[in-house]
Amino acid sequence: MGCNMENFKHYIPTEIKFGKGVISQLPDVLNRFGKNILLTYGGGSIKKSGLYDEITGLLSSNSFIITECSGVEPNPRIETVERGAALCRENGIDAVLAVGGGSVIDCAKAIATGTFCEGDLWNMVLDSRSGRRSLPVIVILTLSATGSEFDNKGVISNISTKEKYSSVFSYPVVSFCDPTYTFSVPKYQTACGSADILSHAMEAYFSRTDSSEISDGLAETIMRTVIHDLPAVLENPDNYDARANLMWASSLACSGILDYGKLYPGKTCHAIGHEFSAVYDVTHGEILSILTPRWMRFILRKDPSVAPRFARFARNVWNLSGENEYQLAEESINCLEDFLGSIGIATNLTSLGIGSTDFDDIATHADLRGRCSNSYVPLTHEDVVQILNDCL
């Protein structure tokens, strides 16, 4: 028996425009705010795919004035936030348009709030709270992964202090989610994004609350969707329905909806993973994919009372059957590991050239907000270091 369902708050005022060709509505949306647009994006992928030309053409022919903030890093840095906020102030920007995946959107949110903040913007990142003044953020999503298009969070890195912080900014006003924009995402990024979706669903699912049936059922749906549609997309990158399901899965998985009613959703792997990418320039989804099965094996051994939840995971997500719940639990972790080993991303730290040098620091930072010691199965500092060693 689990605990009673916990209270929760649902509030996501973002409008999602989902499907082929929704971009045609972009000028109408931007016209609500004004003509001066900060166009935020990463490297050259949107130029190669033609999306950059499509957007700038659409904006120019509708008399918008574009200021560019390009070169947002895969783990966006505070210096880029400073640069973007300065551009907004200098150019009287009316709205920030983010074209990209989670990193670009996170950075755009920080820029939009940072525009109205004085002094060192790293303090603005650390001073995480909702309701701060912000320019409107509009998103054109090109990667199904972090769900930043449908939440108010942004993760910003400070390389000089080796910190990576998830801060609360504002919700995007409108997010344009056209699955065809993800057709050109390379297999590696597609797989990393899906690993991130899967991790969000799993970290919500593994909780002490058994009775929050809708959160659990939706998490199972999202996990099955990734397991079904990621291989389909790796085989045929232009599979519209599979790309569409992954895209909507990413928005829902990371929105908090899967946590509703649940106690200690225990985002242990995300906590450790974020610290990792504060130290190394590793891809978020890849590090989660390495960590998760090791974390699962560790907590199952440390506290076998979690076996029934893993057995449910085995039955409802992996279609396994059997009576012995501990055995089912182990098989479910094998299935997950096999799946993650089949999608073309790293399965251990060694292959990424990462050794144990920083494990102690990473374990310390990961638990700063109790996200390891106060989680599904509480972990000590030594436990976290052990899990990291298991990842080598």
Q: What is the contact surface with a copy of itself in residues (CB under 8 A)?
A: 4-13, 15-22, 211-214, 216-218, 220-222, 224-225, 228-229, 240-241, 244-245, 248-249, 252, 260-261
Nearest approach in angstroms of CB 199 to a copy of itself is 17
Indicate the residue among 204 and 362 with the shorter CB distance to a copy of itself.
204
Amino acid (1-letter code) at residue 46: I
Nearest approach in angstroms of CB 26 to a copy of itself is 14
Burial label, 241 (beta-carbon count in 10 A; 0-12, 13-18, 19+): exposed
Indicate the residue among 173 and 287 with the shorter CB distance to a copy of itself.
173
Indicate the residue among 127 and 241 with the shorter CB distance to a copy of itself.
241
Cα-atom radius of gyration of the chain, to the nearest Å? Answer: 21
Indicate the residue among 28 and 281 with the shorter CB distance to a copy of itself.
28
Indicate the residue among 96 and 222 with the shorter CB distance to a copy of itself.
222
Nearest approach in angstroms of CB 27 to a copy of itself is 17
Nearest approach in angstroms of CB 95 to a copy of itself is 18
| Number of other CB atoms surrounding residue 20 within 10 Å | 11
Half-sphere exposure of 240 (CA within 13 A, CB side): 6
Nearest approach in angstroms of CB 194 to a copy of itself is 14
Using an 8 Å Cβ cutoff, are 87 and 67 in contact? Answer: yes
Q: Is 359 helix (H, G, I), strand (E, B) or coil?
A: helix
State phi, psi for 288 to the nearest 5 degrees: -65, -40
Indicate the residue among 49 and 239 with the shorter CB distance to a copy of itself.
239
Indicate the residue among 7 and 61 with the shorter CB distance to a copy of itself.
7
- What is the rounded CA–CA span in Å between residue 62 and residue 9? 39
Nearest approach in angstroms of CB 263 to a copy of itself is 12
List of residues 6+ apart from 131 with CB closer than 8 A: none
- What is the rounded CA–CA span in Å between residue 263 and residue 325? 22
Nearest approach in angstroms of CB 385 to a copy of itself is 37
DSSP 203-252: HHHSSS----HHHHHHHHHHHHHHHHHHHHHHH-TT-HHHHHHHHHHHHH
